[in-house]
Chain A
Amino acid sequence: MSFLEIDRAVKQFGGLRAVSDVSFTLEKGEVVGLLGPNGSGKTTLINLVSGALPATSGDIRLDGLRLTGLSRDRIARAGVARTFQLVRTLPSLSLVENVMITAVFGRHAHWGAAARRVALGALEMVGLSDRAGVAAADLTYIDQKRLELARALAAEPEILLLDEWLAGLNPTELAEGVALIRTLHQGGLTILMVEHIIDAVRALCPRVVVMNSGELIADAPTDIALADPMVVSAYLGGEVDA
């Protein structure tokens, strides 16, 4: 039994099959890239795992627990943490409060000083601890992304789902971001990351799964998958992203 098992997951929107019979697994501690051209169903798949959308059919299990059919908050408490493709911070809360909520309402249900400690630790990891008291509304884009990651980390998750977390960063920030994810990986965290930046994927993910038009077209070590003619034509046939 694998740590995360996605078994024939299907998501149907009216006549459109956004995710079609997708199956793959992640082992504990693995970092896997989820690739594919725009509209291939990557974010939808992330949404199925995190419960943002109910699956039409199929099974998703985390460490043996069936996630399909559970509500978003139950899935979060089961140890799934995520970031969003379009950054979502809580503008009226301070940074430390933004981060604390997953510690408070997540599976460890910390409160008071303990929750604060977890939140400050997560802010420390992403390099925002010196601004813990600032309102989230005042952050730059990159710092909002950092904040979002800190919030996911404060949940002390079993698995982290990153939805294009590296997108929109400048080269320096990108290097920092890659280093940060590598640190998380070395700490033993399991990560499934949707990513378009191939260099980052090569640097971080020994293995990738590739989707096209809702279907899984490759599940292989990164170098092999990226050389696969099907994968190449999926990227070149569709829009190529920088």
Chain B
Amino acid sequence: MSRIILPLIGLALLAIVPLIVTDYGLGLLIGAATYVTLASAWALFSGQTHYISLATVAFYGTGAYTVAVLNETLGYGAVLLCAALIGGTIALVVGLATLRLRGVYFVIFSFGLAELVRQLITWYEVNVTGTLGRYIFLDITTRQIYWQMLGLAAITIALTAWIHRSRLGMALRVIGDDETVAAHSGINLARVKLLAFVLSAVILTLAGAITSPRYVYVEPSIVFNPTISFLTVIMALLGGANRLWGPTLGAVPLFLIFEWLSSNFPDSYPILLGLLFIGVVFLVPNGLIASTERLLGKAKGARG
């Protein structure tokens, strides 16, 4: 029971925090909630299957840009729905083309996807609509953005927990270990991978859509910032991408560290990021949770 009750209590506490913090604090909370969502959604697909997606910002940016384009013509709910549909469709097309092949093709494609979407939107805006750069005027308070993002994070983690216990989760884990065995055991590889990838992409797109009012002014080069993809991957890896709470555990501290680094060392920020990333790959390849468990296990073994 405590597996459900404790997170719910935590969620309730997090929901009332904005009533007491400053605007700056609230900004940090939104950022942390956003990265918890992004890292968890990323891990939902990539953590289990080891298909490393470098395309987080392609979906995040698509979500933000959809809001920027549609916010004056449609109601907020309808805009979110459109964003989810668009993100899901892109994921479906990309997945259909690349997920039936070896993982490396998928990685390469996802690597360039954000740049591709960015250039296509830029080209379209410049040549067809003639408006590069858009404003988002929505009647949404910062607190509401926080609550929405907190809700999305909670949904993502709950969904992940459910998937971990479902046939889908089991299929994903088998695929991550050995696709040949998976196929000969009766798992429909393409369908399982596609389903998880699209689910993950829809959440990433919604995260971009929900935070977009914070930007006020949106332009492809702002919302398709590759650093977002990069941060998402490193956060999920640090905590442990195949664990339920791994991405959260990586996202919160790293987000705070990155905030501090980017305001105090703006010039050397990318260097520090790169070093940190390489450090994670070499030192905690299976994530902090797994490393801690191993250390504890060893300590236990030494005592016993």
Whether, in the assembled complex, A151 has its beta carbon less than 8 Å from a beta carbon of chain B, the answer is: yes
20 A-B pairs within 8 Å (CB atoms) are namely A52-B180, A52-B184, A71-B183, A71-B188, A73-B186, A76-B186, A81-B184, A84-B180, A88-B178, A91-B177, A93-B174, A97-B170, A101-B181, A101-B182, A102-B186, A104-B167, A105-B171, A105-B185, A106-B186, A155-B186
User: In residues 200-247 of chain B, which contact A (Cβ within 8 Å)?
Assistant: none
Tell me the A residues contacting B by CB distance below 8 Å.
Answer: 50-52, 71-73, 76-77, 81-82, 84, 88-93, 97, 100-102, 104-107, 111, 151, 155
User: In residues 160-188 of chain B, which contact A (Cβ within 8 Å)?
Assistant: 167, 170-171, 173-174, 176-178, 180-188
Residues of B within 8 A of A52 (CB): 180, 184
Q: How far is the CB of B2 from chain A (nearest CB, A)?
A: 22
Residues of B within 8 A of A100 (CB): 170
Residues of A within 8 A of B173 (CB): 90, 92-93
Residues of B within 8 A of A84 (CB): 180
Residues of A within 8 A of B185 (CB): 73, 76, 101-102, 105-106, 151, 155
Q: How far is the CB of A102 from chain B (nearest CB, A)?
A: 5
Residues of B within 8 A of A51 (CB): 183-184
**Contacts A50-B184, A52-B184, A151-B185 known; A105 to B167 CB distance under 8 Å?**
yes
Chain A residue at smallest Cβ distance from B167: A104
- The answer to whether A101 and B180 touch across the interface, beta carbons within 8 angstroms, is no
Whether, in the assembled complex, B189 has its beta carbon less than 8 Å from a beta carbon of chain A, the answer is: yes
**Considering the chains assembled together, what is the distance between the CA atoms of A53 and B189 in angstroms?**
16
Chain B residue at smallest Cβ distance from A102: B185
- The answer to whether A88 and B186 touch across the interface, beta carbons within 8 angstroms, is no
Task: Classify chain B: how many residues form its interface, as a range.
Answer: 10 to 19
Using A101-B187, A105-B167, A151-B185 as known contacts, list a sample of 17 further A-B pairs with CB atoms less than 8 Å apart, ordered by residue number in A: A51-B184, A72-B184, A73-B183, A73-B188, A81-B184, A82-B184, A88-B180, A88-B181, A90-B173, A92-B177, A93-B174, A93-B177, A101-B170, A101-B185, A102-B186, A107-B186, A155-B185
**Considering the chains assembled together, what is the distance between the CA atoms of A91 and B170 in angstroms?**
14
Residues of B within 8 A of A90 (CB): 173-174, 177-178, 181
User: In residues 274-289 of chain B, which contact A (Cβ within 8 Å)?
Assistant: none
Residues of B within 8 A of A107 (CB): 186
- The answer to whether B177 and A76 touch across the interface, beta carbons within 8 angstroms, is no
**Considering the chains assembled together, what is the distance between the CA atoms of A149 and B186 in angstroms?**
16
Chain A residue at smallest Cβ distance from B187: A105
Chain B residue at smallest Cβ distance from A161: B184
Q: How far is the CB of B79 from chain A (nearest CB, A)?
A: 38
Residues of B within 8 A of A104 (CB): 167, 170
- The answer to whether B181 and A92 touch across the interface, beta carbons within 8 angstroms, is no
**Considering the chains assembled together, what is the distance between the CA atoms of A155 and B188 in angstroms?**
15
Interface centre among B167, B171, B181 (most CB of A within 10 A): B181
Residues of A within 8 A of B184 (CB): 50-52, 72-73, 76, 81-82
Q: How far is the CB of B60 from chain A (nearest CB, A)?
A: 29
Chain A residue at smallest Cβ distance from B179: A72
**Considering the chains assembled together, what is the distance between the CA atoms of A169 and B183 in angstroms?**
27
**Considering the chains assembled together, what is the distance between the CA atoms of A101 and B181 in angstroms?**
10
Residues of A within 8 A of B180 (CB): 52, 84, 88
**Considering the chains assembled together, what is the distance between the CA atoms of A77 and B187 in angstroms?**
9
Q: How far is the CB of B287 from chain A (nearest CB, A)?
A: 13
Residues of A within 8 A of B183 (CB): 51, 71-73, 76
Residues of A within 8 A of B177 (CB): 90-93
**Considering the chains assembled together, what is the distance between the CA atoms of A100 and B167 in angstroms?**
11
**Considering the chains assembled together, what is the distance between the CA atoms of A104 and B178 in angstroms?**
16
**Considering the chains assembled together, what is the distance between the CA atoms of A93 and B184 in angstroms?**
17
- The answer to whether A73 and B178 touch across the interface, beta carbons within 8 angstroms, is no
Chain B residue at smallest Cβ distance from A105: B186
Residues of A within 8 A of B186 (CB): 73, 76-77, 102, 105-107, 155
Residues of B within 8 A of A73 (CB): 183-189
Q: How far is the CB of B124 from chain A (nearest CB, A)?
A: 38
Chain B residue at smallest Cβ distance from A91: B177
Residues of A within 8 A of B181 (CB): 88-90, 101, 151
Residues of A within 8 A of B176 (CB): 92
**Considering the chains assembled together, what is the distance between the CA atoms of A185 and B171 in angstroms?**
30
